[in-house]
Structure 1
Amino acid sequence: MDDLIAERRSYVAGTWVDGDEPLAVENPADESHVTDVSVTPLAEIERAVTEARRCFDAGTWADTPPAERARVLHAFVDHIVAHRAAFVATMVAEAGQPAAFAERAQLGAGVALARGTIDLYLSMQHEDHNPLPVDDLLRGGAALSIRRHEPVGVVTAITPYNGAIIMAFQKLIPALMAGNSVILRPSPLTPISSLLFGAAADAAGLPAGTLSVVVEAGSIGAELLTSHPFVDMVSFTGSTAVGRRILAQAAPTVKRVALELGGKSAQIYLPDAVGRAPAGAAAVVAATAGQACVAATRMLVPQDHKDEVVEAVARAYAAITVGPPSDPTARMGPVINAAARERCERFVATAEEHGGKVAFGGGRPAGLDRGYYFEPTVLDLRDNTNPAAREEIFGPVISIIGYRDLDDAVHIANDSDYGLSGQVFGADVAAATAVARRLRTGAVNVNVGGMFSAYAPSGGYKQSGLGRERGPDGIRAFQEVKHLAISDPR
């Protein structure tokens, strides 16, 4: 695999580290062996934390002027861009993603996000006057009240397999730009591409200890990184179940925790917009095979239009070509592994047991004997109580549910443990926006599939997470707030 990223070892505090245990990486598109990656010994993960602490406490990176940090991080991004071809080939091989998705939605969007985040940080005030009533100033004996935003310290960044690179950019750049030291731990399912961040740190001249990238086959290292007393913050993107465990692991040392977790997002079609449903359904599964936490996998349509929408979406899914990234006609690839495919199969069967109907798909595509493929699947559900409408499936399965009126649509959308994202479509923009304001979710897209910008926040309500990434809030997430009360003793 000469076209892949060359380095197959961990990067710990400025050095490349060999391990005794190999981690075999599988290509989900054909079940072939991509390559082996050297697993980081637990002692080296401990060293990554210790060196991150030492580097931060010494102020090696944290005290570097913001303009200089920006220069180094632009060089960091430049190195990644220079290795674009290997980066994309690696993402395609280890995640089974279409090349266009790896190129645009991960690398291209990630680079734009990184540079935008650097610019946003430089445009923000990180120390400013904190207005107080005159009486408070006089009682306190202070002449100045200053609010200062400082780095949190040592940050653990844990990224998922479905968006390993875009999520790494989303965590690393604001954390590093704010002056923190970071240990990046990618998913064991897709570890290779993230190693380029170590090479970029080396090439850009990041001080040793500022960034480490560690690889593991299980979760022992991650547990160390979420519980170690030297770690000040954990930023995690992944399932709600794992997010709960991270909260528990971080609690004894009262770490700051930022979590972007699961979703069961709804896309609501007002009566004047049902014609847009097939395109909205296709967006759920195309490129990602439904493996996106923000995927709007619950489609809510007027009850008297439901049958026609189910038929139209089924036709749209029938037109989606499923295949490996090497097939230029394929619009949808595999899910990540056999367990993910079995989860799809199990939820389709459970949906039927609870009265749902399979309008299209529901099984493995014909003619694809190797690879973890599952058909784009349309479920016709009677109501929101069906397990397929309650749980995150994380595969190419959409559920269609009818609503009586807009109040009922809002009720159904909000009747979920999750609240990560949502969509509302309507020719009457004011009416659609009124519905959007009533949804209990971290983001709502009105007449658009979504917006991804360094200047716009993302994050969840309820069990979809804590905190925000991207935008000013995403930068502040990696900063502490210090209050300075200053008086002249003369």
Structure 2
Amino acid sequence: METPAKIEGTAAPGRNNRAFEFLRDIPKQLLIAGKWAPAQAGGTFHTINPATEEVLTTVAEGDARDVDAAVKAAREAFENGPWSHITPHQRAKYLLKIAELVQKHADELAHVITLDNGKPISEARNEVARTAEVFIYYAGWTTKICGETNPSDPSLFNYTLREPLGVCGQIIPWNGPLSMVAWKVAPALACGNTVVLKPAEQTPLPALAFGKLTLEAGLPAGVVNIITGFGPTAGAAIARHRDIDKVAFTGSTSVGREILQAAASNLKRVSLELGGKSPNIIFDDANLELAVAGSAMGIFRNQGQVCCAGSRIFIQQKIYDEFAERLTQVASGITLGDPLQPGTTMGPLVSDEQYERVLGYLNVGQQEGACVRAGGERGPQSRGYFVAPTVFADVKSDMRIAREEIFGPVASLIPFRDETDAVLQANDTIYGLAAAVWTRNVNRALALARRLRAGTVWINCYGILDPISPFGGYKQSGFGRELGKDSIELYTQPKSVFIKFQK
């Protein structure tokens, strides 16, 4: 296992050394049945600081055998362990305790996210806060998962129960390495399920830190199991495992298809939150200052590594040039650099693979004839996976940069004539995760909210999420809804009971 020297060497005067000690003390093994253990095959892999390209530490590389052990532990906890016998009130207390510990270690967790993922520390702190909010929200649901009493024949009493599914396999992405833990784990536990969680191999540390907190919270052994490893091995083993009752996945559409096929082995429940190419529509009556600021946030937050990023910006012809100029100024003013520094507003991409992917699309955009108004190149840093925030103008809807998910800080500006043109172009995509409309015309806003084929529509804002409101996609952006009461549907199943009265 990697020595702590690598981690300690990352600290510097003026930084939070307590956070680096917290990182150093995170177990780097697999969490199975309430205990930390090495991978059965003995494999390990490095996790890299994307800002420096240095090794942060080394973690266990789990595979199918470790997944099987985790599933057995989760099954035991669900069928025979204390988890199957505790009251909803007790489940709520566990979720609230986890939220309390997340809040207690908020700064340390934010540093872990930034070091492993590369997002600016301010964004990482927001992610930690949202993580706690989700656990608090679902703690409130444990006592409100109810069945119904149905009208029936007078000689019968008919009612329904809403019961947990069982063992849930959960595979999360690297762009929200702690918030995605909450989106998956909190509703599953609230409903009484047990979990086998696989974090992305690029960002395993926030999930391992979370695992440490679950033990501190006193969560019974086997309720949450964490397997670090790679998609084709550990992830595939979860998708096809015959004793997993449900699999939840957030990631690319291509991998989502593979998971759906593998899940057919035992017809397990599946929910998929996949890719996006979200339209962000600016009408000529919009508040331009707010629209520019919101659009910049919508595409440049988290280095554009957001499934619902507003990467296709449609601007009405009358204001196209002015909007393009203003957005270019904002992009050029972004501070690209060390994500741990408070003044940094954009950090590196998460990995070398993602870095090369985005650079490739920058070349594609220029070859297709789009005009680079800002960026269009790698960052000036001598090391790290930095890409300059990029604005492409004169983009046509049939260009690859307007059709394929780049997952980087790349905005494509596309003109439109009127409402009909805007809707036709916006819906001309295989995706349907999110959309936004900027206008002062209330009738127009409400009409487009209905006409846009997307799971979330923002009006005069971008990227707002709340644990109370469902999130998910249309078309090839997946199916199933996370957050809100809809997650309760994802992690429970109804049972009908008939009682015949005896004389």
TM-score above 0.5, yes or no:
yes
Aligned to 1:3: 21
Aligned to 2:323: 309
Letter in 1 for 2:214: A
2:338 & 2:488 partners in 1: Cα distance? 37
The yes-or-no answer on 1:203 pairing with 2:216 is yes
Question: For residues 405 and 246 of structure 1, do their structure 2 counterparts lie closer, same or farther at Cα, with a shift above 3 Å needed?
Answer: same
Unmatched 5+ stretches in structure 1: 132-136
- Candidates 299, 321, 340, aligned match of 1:326: 340
- Candidates 389, 393, 405, aligned match of 1:376: 389
2:241 & 2:391 partners in 1: Cα distance? 45
Letter in 2 for 1:112: E
Unmatched 5+ stretches in structure 2: 1-6, 8-19
Aligned-residue RMSD, C-alpha: 1.7
The yes-or-no answer on 1:179 pairing with 2:199 is no
Structure 1 residue 78: Cα displacement: 2.3
Aligned to 2:149: 129
1:114 & 1:339 partners in 2: Cα distance? 32
Structure 1 residue 217: Cα displacement: 4.0
1:237 & 1:200 partners in 2: Cα distance? 23
1:88 & 1:402 partners in 2: Cα distance? 39
Structure 1 residue 61: Cα displacement: 1.3
Task: Provide the TM-score with structure 1 as the length reference.
Answer: 0.94
The number of equivalent residue pairs is: 480
Aligned to 1:337: 351
Q: Secondary structure at the match of 2:212?
A: helix
2:442 & 2:108 partners in 1: Cα distance? 44
Structure 1 residue 218: Cα displacement: 4.9
1:215 & 1:328 partners in 2: Cα distance? 30
Aligned to 1:78: 100
Letter in 2 for 1:11: L
The yes-or-no answer on 1:109 pairing with 2:130 is yes
Deviations along 1:271-322, one digit per CA (max 9) or x if unpaired, are 2016144213320344400000011111111123222222221111111111
Aligned to 2:478: 465
Aligned to 1:362: 376
1:13 & 1:59 partners in 2: Cα distance? 11
Q: Secondary structure at the match of 1:112?
A: helix
Aligned to 1:16: 36
- Candidates 174, 180, 183, aligned match of 1:167: 180
Question: Percent identical across equivalent pairs?
Answer: 35
The yes-or-no answer on 1:39 pairing with 2:57 is no
1:95 & 1:4 partners in 2: Cα distance? 16
Q: Secondary structure at the match of 1:254?
A: coil
| Greater alpha carbon shift after TM alignment, 67-76 vs 400-409 | 67-76
Task: Provide the TM-score with structure 2 as the length reference.
Answer: 0.92
1:431 & 1:225 partners in 2: Cα distance? 45
Q: Secondary structure at the match of 1:253?
A: coil
Structure 1 residue 446: Cα displacement: 0.8
1:411 & 1:62 partners in 2: Cα distance? 51
1:121 & 1:66 partners in 2: Cα distance? 5
- Candidates 53, 56, 69, aligned match of 2:75: 53
| Greater alpha carbon shift after TM alignment, 207-216 vs 50-59 | 50-59
Aligned to 1:134: none
The yes-or-no answer on 1:346 pairing with 2:360 is yes
Aligned to 1:119: 140
Q: Is the 8 A contact 2:472 2:478 kept in 1?
A: yes
Aligned to 1:279: 293
Deviations along 1:108-154, one digit per CA (max 9) or x if unpaired, are 011011101211343x34122234xxxxx34xx75233222110111
Letter in 1 for 2:29: R
The yes-or-no answer on 1:270 pairing with 2:288 is no
Deviations along 1:185-233, one digit per CA (max 9) or x if unpaired, are 1000000111122222222222221110111145311111111110000
Q: Is the 8 A contact 1:27 1:93 kept in 2?
A: yes
1:338 & 1:215 partners in 2: Cα distance? 19
1:131-150 pair list within 5 angstroms: 131=151, 137-138=152-153, 143-150=156-163
Q: Is the 8 A contact 2:157 2:501 kept in 1?
A: no
Letter in 1 for 2:330: A
